[in-house]
Structure 1
Amino acid sequence: MPVPPRIRDEFRLYRVFPRHHDTVRFYTTPWLTNQVPFLVYRLLLCVYNVSVLVVYVKGGEWAWNPKVLITLTYQTYILWTVYSFWSAVVCFVLYFGSTYHHLRGQIESCSLISPDSFSQEVQDSPDNKNTSRADAPSPASESCDAATPDEHTVNDNDSRFGTTLDATALLQGYLRDDSRHTTADTGTVTSLPDRYPRLPWYLGCQWVLYTAPAVSALPITVVFWSLMRPAGQSVVIENVLIHAMNSVTAFLELFITGLPVSLLHVVYPILYLLWYIVFSLIYVEAGGTDLWGNHYIYKVFDFEGNPSLTAGLVVAVVGLLLVSHVIVFFLSLLRDKILVCVSRR
């Protein structure tokens, strides 16, 4: 069975980097044209994650122990909180039209031309001096596919992103056939890298900040509840918040937002895991101990006491990361398919 072009393109080397054709997906929700509720969601997610960090660090027998910072769980949730804060800042700054961001009022998926400016161009053109205003082409008939990236602007009736976005522009990135993207003037197929231009640095950072903790959430949940949780220990709210709700909020974020997922971005959670392994080795070799004074951070990851078992578990966790990333990828495809079906109703 032939591999679909959408899947085949995922294995292009340049897809390792944070590149995408539709910047709107990173700071809007595709489910609403009015983005105000999405801004409220962004704020609530940030406040919730900060609250979870505080509740966890002050709870249990490790209350206010700074050593809680050495655990993979807490470091990952800190990274998840940094993502929620960063994405909230990006959304609010773009919403209020900050002059520091060149994406203000810009949607790269569709050109929405102001009727007034369009009519003025037609009226002033030498070839159209005798053309009546009624005969001028309707701006609504302009094809979104014919627009170049520099022409993509928000309707002048609402020059700032956020209040109300045109539904066609909002969903254009989902409806576009990425496997055969052609230029309007020549009809030729654009090169693959041209279909995925570099993102602004702050959106690229947002994408990486999402991928690493979101993909790591499921393995952390599985490993904790299957291997790490002490036998006979009652379920406490701190463990539920940071070892179960982490996966729930990660998948909720995926479906509420329009964030894309690239298969080759699995390198980011793997690099994050490698960072933690190096950190834990240095920490233990320097004489560090866990919350209870043991010379390891996790008993099942004791490189000194049982290196062979630990090495096997590291390989297993890498496998879990790969599986988790594939699950997140196909869930993102499912979300996009649902959006396309809804938009065509």
Structure 2
Amino acid sequence: MASDKTSIGLQVNSRGISGDHVCQVGLGVRGRGVLVSMARGSHTTGTQPFREEFRLRKLGFEYDEPKHFYSCQWQWPAAVYISIRVFLSLYTTGALITVCAMNSTYTILRFLTIWTYILLALHFTVASVITITHHIKRPRSKNCSDDQQECKSRENPGFVDEEEMGRIQRKQPEGSQKDSKEQPEDKITWYMKLSWLLSDIVQVFSVVVTVIYFTAIYPTLTVTNSELFNDFNVHAVNTVFVLLDAAVCARPARVLHLVYPVGYGLVYIVFSVVVYGVSGTVIYNVLDYSQPLYPAVTVPGLALIVIPLLQLAFYGLYRLKLRISVKLYN
């Protein structure tokens, strides 16, 4: 009856492109008309309280939106995003093979540069495979290039406007809603967690490698043009690529994940100590253990200052992406 009026208030905990957030949803039903309003949670606009990043659970890799590991942050055609992923994978793999072919494998495997570049190529390859696999599995109608409006709501609940929410509600058949216990949220897979871990490490250490190379090593080098090209590939292009990766992908970022690049750095320090103890080889001047002052300054400086600042910078880039995407597509 036209005079009937029902109002329903819901608070929905969901996972958006930026992690946990709370959305306030109000439904007003008058007769046969449906009025839907949605107040978006703070995460969708990038205003989540910073202190939330320091909860213990943020150390882990639990995340309920697998699509963020194979989706573009921006509403680009799927073919464009896949092309970027494939290019990054092929380029870094080719550059790694070239560097290994032109140098003694035994010698270059001592360097932090090569360790990090191997992980970089592995990360881009894993991310490329994840992206291609999931885009092949998805129905064509779900591609961003085919249905932009549905893609908006699928990529980020914060992009769902009132008209779209109304359309979704009207399309949903009666009785289709089930108890949340019967339909548990999707979890990311182990290989998505691997991709996330690799990205945490390489995005920080690619910048570290670039800065150390151009401030402490490059000014003293005398190399041929071919060697210079390879050096730029593994010491400069690497940082360009991780910035591109961070800018276009929808993968989340967490401040406490700084422990993983710190752990990676400590593993390399132990390796350099073993190499020095066994053969007396000094891999880098800043890790010359015959002059303890150098490593005594370098190691704590990286672990306590440089790595945390870089992790914060990439987290800041992630939050900035969310704000821009809401401004562009909301």
CA distance in 1, matches of 2:144, 2:328: 21
Residue 209 of structure 2 is aligned to residue 224 of structure 1: no
Q: Is the 8 A contact 1:19 1:197 kept in 2?
A: no
Q: Is the 8 A contact 1:30 1:170 kept in 2?
A: no
Q: Deviations over 1:133-190 (max 9, x none)?
A: xxxxxxxxxxxxxxxxxxxxxxx7737x6874632234315659xxxxxxxxxxxxxx
Check 1:5–1:338 CA distance in 2 against 1; reply closer, same or farther (3 A cut). closer
Map residues 1-345 of structure 1 onto 2, 5 A cutoff. 5-32=48-75, 34-59=77-102, 63-97=103-137, 105=138, 158=141, 164=146, 166-172=150-156, 198-231=187-220, 233=222, 236-287=228-279, 295-303=281-289, 305-318=290-303, 319-344=305-330
Structure with greater strand percent: 2
Q: Is the 8 A contact 1:71 1:297 kept in 2?
A: yes
CA distance in 2, matches of 1:317, 1:38: 33
Q: In structure 1, list runs of 5 or more residues that go unmatched.
A: 98-104, 106-155, 177-195, 290-294
CA distance in 1, matches of 2:144, 2:89: 19
Partner of 2:34: none
Q: Is the 8 A contact 1:254 1:332 kept in 2?
A: yes
Check 1:273–1:232 CA distance in 2 against 1; reply closer, same or farther (3 A cut). closer
SS of 1:70's partner is coil
Residues 215-224 or 257-266, more deviating: 215-224
CA distance in 2, matches of 1:210, 1:57: 23
Q: Is the 8 A contact 1:33 1:170 kept in 2?
A: no
Alignment TM-score, normalising by the size of structure 1: 0.68
Q: 2:292 corresponds to which letter in structure 1?
A: P
Q: 2:212 corresponds to which letter in structure 1?
A: V
Compute the displacement of 1:285 (Å).
Answer: 1.9
CA distance in 2, matches of 1:315, 1:8: 25
Alignment TM-score, normalising by the size of structure 2: 0.71
CA distance in 2, matches of 1:209, 1:198: 18
Q: 1:168 corresponds to which letter in structure 2?
A: K
Identity %, equivalent residues? 22
Check 1:11–1:296 CA distance in 2 against 1; reply closer, same or farther (3 A cut). same
Q: Is the 8 A contact 2:72 2:249 kept in 1?
A: yes
Q: Is the 8 A contact 2:89 2:128 kept in 1?
A: yes
Q: Aligned pairs, how many?
A: 257
Compute the displacement of 1:19 (Å).
Answer: 2.2
SS of 2:109's partner is helix
Cα RMSD of the aligned pairs, angstroms, is: 2.7
SS of 1:32's partner is coil
